[in-house]
Amino acid sequence: MLFTRNDFGEDFKWGVSTAAYQIEGGHNADGKGPSIWDSFTGKKKKIFNNDNGNIACDYYKHYAEDIALIYKLNIPNHRFSISWSRILPNGIGAVNHKGIDFYNRVIDFCLELGIEPWITLYHWDLPEALQQKGGWVNREVIHWFSYFVDCCIKYFGDRVKYWMVLNEPMVFTGAGYFLGVHAPGKKGLSSFLAAAHHAAICQAEGGRIIKSLRGECKVGTTFSYSHIEPYRYNNEKDVKAAAKVDALINRMFIEPLLGLGYPTADLKILDRIERFMHPNDEKKLAFEMDFIGLQNYTREFVSYAPLMPFVKAKIIKASKRNVEHTLMDWEVYPPSIYNALKRLHNYKEIKEIIITENGAAFNDSFEEYRVEDFKRVRFLQDYIAQVLLAKREGVKVNGYFVWTLMDNFEWAEGYYPKFGLVSVDFKTQKRTVKNSGSWYSCFLKNALAASKECRNEESEKIIL
Ligand code: GCO
């Protein structure tokens, strides 16, 4: 399939996404307080190679160079997040004006270059001072988060038109409060359900606050969303296991936000979230967002696994299925974004879908002054082609942001997986635009792109 940017229409938003802890560094600069990721990465054996984000891409110092690079790459929209403890070192109370000044400089420079800033309020870096009080498990977090949102809108809402409340609540509550593999490293069903319920309330509360203070802003929130299939279609137990995993990783936060409540019919264990619900919470969980941020990378196959607690299901990794996959062991399967879009489109309550993350980590080969990342170029072209297929079928998708601008700190995997359109030499902080960055730049200047149309009857299967 051949296509150009024009095929998506004039008002389609093209962009690139980043996140504060993954790129900024300056972990204790100018009055910034510690976040849970500063604490978590300080513990041994939590992060591959014991890496941390103390310096990362040093965006705190190099922000102007990096925003100029976004401009040079013809990218009109830049999604980034606010480090909560950089502007509120203790999470609540006194504001750190040097932190406010930093984000003012970032926002103003974007606007000066004609780049639209899209801000994610929470991209996983809770202030450590709040974790000391229980963090997301403490229902007080609703008050703390509301205070943070209010502060961001007060200082930045006059110039920033696009806001996302949370980044992937399923991941930060699941990995951080159930599995313990992300900050703050808590484990267990009870801490997960408490954190999840409070995060679900905060995603709606954040929307209410933004709209009440700056009604003209566009507000959304983002979700990780994978195309889920049963490992054996003809095996009833696998089909049921896939439906449970789909309810957990795809529906658990979207459906309460849409006023549909938690998907307890398909995931009985969610009945236990009742313990953390107060009167009127069902209502507090819902809010009509202007857009939903879809973050899709791959497809997952699920099989019945009787020994797995709570869901009795397990994901069959791509490397075990002998399919093309990325360094994250995520299958390269472009129709996954088509399927995710079609499924989200089926929720009539969703007004608009923006793909706020899509990208891939490969072992980029670094030649002298250039990075030949052809696999990433093909990945982007093939996934973007699937977005076009969905759009042509009437799906309400109106934006696509690449994850990510530059190689950065990939959470528990440290700096090993490289997702960037731009490579970073972390010894010298030198940036080198990869083939994929050059391709995206040309595409955004309306060059032709090509993709093998990889839709087949498989991709028609949508697990409802
Ligand atoms: C996420 C986060 C990003 C990741 C990206 C690649 O979805 O996990 O939003 O911070 O770096 O998705 O894993």
Could you write out the DSSP letters of every residue in 171-193?
Answer: HHHHIIIII-SSTT---SHHHHH
The pLDDT, as a whole number, for residue 453 is 57
Q: Is the pLDDT of residue 39 over 80?
A: yes
Q: What is the pLDDT of residue 29?
A: 98
Q: Which helix (H) or strand (E) holds 435?
A: helix 435-444
User: Once rounded to an integer, what is the mean pLDDT over residues 338-346?
Assistant: 98
Query: In this structure, how many other beta carbons lie within 10 angstroms of the beta carbon of residue 275?
Result: 10
Candidate from 123, 411, 415 with most ligand 1 atoms within 8 A of CB, to mutate: 411
Task: Domain of residue 384: give its range.
Answer: 5-460
Number of domains comprising the chain: 1
pLDDT tens sequence across 389-426: 999 999 999 999 999 999 999 999 999 999 999 999 99
The CATH number of the domain holding residue 70 is 3.20.20.80
Distance 360 CA to ligand 1 centre (A): 10
* Axis crossing angle, helix 435-444 with helix 374-392, rounded to the nearest 10: 30
Cα distances (Å, whole numbers) of residue 122 to 127, 167, 237, 245, 339: 11, 6, 37, 25, 27
Residue with the smallest CA separation from ligand 1 atom 5 is 403
Residue where the block lists tokens 């999840």: 196
Question: What average pLDDT does this structure show over 53-82?
Answer: 98
- ∠227-232-233 over CA atoms, to 5°? 75
Assess contact for 67 and 109: CB atoms under 8 A.
Answer: yes
- pLDDT above 90: residue 448: no
Q: Is 356 in the pocket of ligand 1 (CB under 6 A)?
A: no
- Distance CA(201)–CA(199), nearest Å, equals 5
Among candidate residues 205, 198, 226, the one with its CA nearest the CA of residue 301: 226
**Torsional sign, CA 357, 358, 360, 364:** negative
- Those residues with Cβ within 8 angstroms of residue 297's Cβ, 6 or more apart along the chain or in another chain: 226, 326, 328, 330, 336, 357, 358, 359, 360
CB 298 near ligand 1, within 6 Å: no
- Is 357 a residue of the active site? yes
pLDDT at 363 exceeding the cut of 60: yes
pLDDT interval class at 296 (50, 70, 90): very high
Mean pLDDT of 359-368: 88
pLDDT band with cut points at 50, 70 and 90 for residue 245: very high
| Contacts of the segment 316-325: beta carbons below 8 A, 24+ positions apart | 316/231
For the stretch 179-219, pLDDT in tens is 999 999 999 999 999 999 999 999 999 999 999 999 999 99
Confidence of residue 464 (pLDDT cuts 50, 70, 90): very low
